[in-house]
Structure 1
């Protein structure tokens, strides 16, 4: 699998999902092995997601490499 960000193990680009991508994101996070990271690519900063990730024991780092492109690197805490 090709990643946009070196150092991440998995990638999920939700920009083309029709509708709310929350279910797909939570499925990917639930399947994430403890020694791997997930790069979430979105067209906006998913601020409501941060609290959910923290409650489930994940950390995240968010960057905005270009307009309408947000990267959220998700790892187990």
Structure 2
């Protein structure tokens, strides 16, 4: 996990607005993320299955539940 505020993220991806499975959109956004950039992923649930994928791809993350149906995951390169 990393430190830092979600407000400091360079990019935002709100997957709650995606119709269907958002995994492809998440992977594409991660692939485009520059080495010094951070991503704020917004989801309606804690994306636990994503954590292994992030670690395998060399990312660290910090997850915060901001409402009953809103989770923020700040993602940085390890």
TM-score by length of 1: 0.92
Alignment length (residue pairs): 73
Match of 2:42 in 1: 41
Listed as ranges, the matches of 1:13-52 within 5 Å are: 13-52=14-53
Match of 1:70 in 2: 71
TM-score by length of 2: 0.90
Larger RCO of the pair (alpha carbons < 8 Å, separation 6+): 2
Residue 41 of structure 1: CA displacement? 0.3
Residue 32 of structure 1: CA displacement? 0.4
Secondary structure of the 2:65 match is strand
Divergent runs of 4+, >3 A: none
Secondary structure of the 1:60 match is strand
Residue 55 of structure 1: CA displacement? 0.4
